[in-house]
Structure formats: C-alpha cells, structure tokens
Amino acid sequence: MMFVPVTSILVDDQDKALAFYTDVLGFVKKTDIPVGGAKWLTVVSPDAPDGVELLLEPDGNPGIQIDGKPAAQVYKKTLYDAGMPFTMLGSTDLQKDYERMTERGVRFTQEPTKTDFGAQAVFDDTCGNLIVLVQQD
C-alpha cells in the first residue's frame, strides 16, 4: 500500500520558514539534519507526530535553472504573481485558525470563503508561497 511520508514546500530561507511554520502556524520540528549547505528540515502537526512530514525545502538549487535563475524560484514566483497557492493545508476550524493567524500578523489574500466542499482561505507564508487553508465539510 502506498502512502505519503513526506511532502515538500519550497522556501526561500529554511530558518525563517521553520520559525513561521512552528511559531505562527503551530507545527513542530521533527527532523533537522545538515545536508551540504542546506538541511533536511521537516515539521509535523503536533496532533500527528508520526503523520505526514512537511519538508521545508530550499528553493535555490543552482543546478536546475530557467533563464539563469534557480527553477524552483521561477516556478514559485510565477504561481505567487498569478495568485495561485503552492499547496494546501487543512484545518478543523478555519475561522478560528484565520483569527489566530491574523492576530499573529499573517497576511491573507483571501478571507475565509464558503466553497462546495467546505471553506477556504489563502495566506502568504512569508517564504515566497501562497497557501490555501481548507476546512472540509
């Protein structure tokens, strides 16, 4: 049976991302292993420490380029400029999380909005990504 052990989010600064994803969003650090000039740095939900890990992956790999810039940075900026979220996170209480995050200075580009599947909001993760936060009915 296949499963998802780790999924990545491309970040412009791993230390800044760790602070945002732990101090602001409430994830907890699980793995922090030096790998060359970067780290294998993951966070998990405190309610699911053995669940899916979110890898805070550097976006600056110079080995893969588009027009002389790291491809991941070009991809992220293209999505961001188009207002497209990079990935999706889930919430069991979207309104409560929205209020908590707003109090902590998170910038939302879309406030909680009812959808056919529940509700969603979109926020800036300060690391070059828009993230859609969803609550499913």
* Angle at the Cα of 102 from the Cα atoms of 99 and 104, rounded to 5 degrees: 115
| Predicted pLDDT of residue 95 | 97
Other beta carbons within 10 Å of 34: 9
Alpha-carbon Rg of the chain, whole angstroms? 15
Q: Could you tell me how many helices (H) and strands (E) the chain has, helices first?
A: 3, 10
Which has the closest alpha carbon to 86: 43, 50, 57?
A: 57
Identify whether the C-beta of residue 112 lies closer than 8 Å to the C-beta of residue 121: yes
Whether the model clears a pTM of 0.85, i.e. scores above it, the answer is yes
Length of the chain: 137
- In this prediction, the residues of the chain whose per-residue pLDDT falls under 50 are none
What six digits make up the tokens of 118?
Answer: 């529940």
